[in-house]
Amino acid sequence: MKPKLILCLALVLSGGLFSTGCRGIGTQQFTAFAPAQSHEMETSSRIVLDVACRQQMAMADYNLWENLSIGAPIPKHWKYDMTLQVERVVKGEFDEKTLEFHWLSEPTQEQYVSLGISRPANFGFTNGTPLQIGFDGRSGKQLKNLKIMIRP
């Protein structure tokens, strides 16, 4: 009886994955703040850093249906691996000189508006941009409650 239950559960999960796709699985999500909200970001984060972004790699963030497409569609979403150079600790304790992001999700249209930038024609929305980030801690390679703001 248990093997049938396991098989049934596997089929349900794989069917759900097929219908909804893989987009966003494992990506680092974040909340975007406008520069006018810097005080709110600082008070809502345990650690706040001034950083300079250096993009390392961009990868298409396809859903499963797009991955299976024969025509290799033009990606609609991106995710980024990048290194942040820590310039200053604004709040909390942070001893490292760099911070690695693995699969940072591309901002949504609303996040682009909050950040005060337009969607770029090519990938690389943060390459070289001075940022302020806030977070509450780490869980593996993910930052808890990540917040991003472009420094004025």
Give the residue from 61, 45, 14, 23 showing the smallest Cα distance to 132. 45
Instruction: Give the per-residue pLDDT at 94.
Output: 94
Give the residue from 56, 134, 127 showing the smallest Cα distance to 90. 134
Strand partners, 89: 49
Where is mean pLDDT largest: 66-80, 113-127, 128-142? 128-142
Q: Is the pLDDT of residue 112 over 90?
A: no
Torsion, Cα of 112, 46, 139, 63 (10° steps) = -10
Domain assignments of the chain as residue spans, ordered by start? 2-150
Longest dimension (CA), the chain: 62
Instruction: Give the per-residue pLDDT at 4.
Output: 55
- pLDDT mean over 49-70: 68
Q: Is the pLDDT of residue 81 over 50?
A: yes
Instruction: Give the per-residue pLDDT at 64.
Output: 55
Q: Is the pLDDT of residue 21 over 70?
A: no
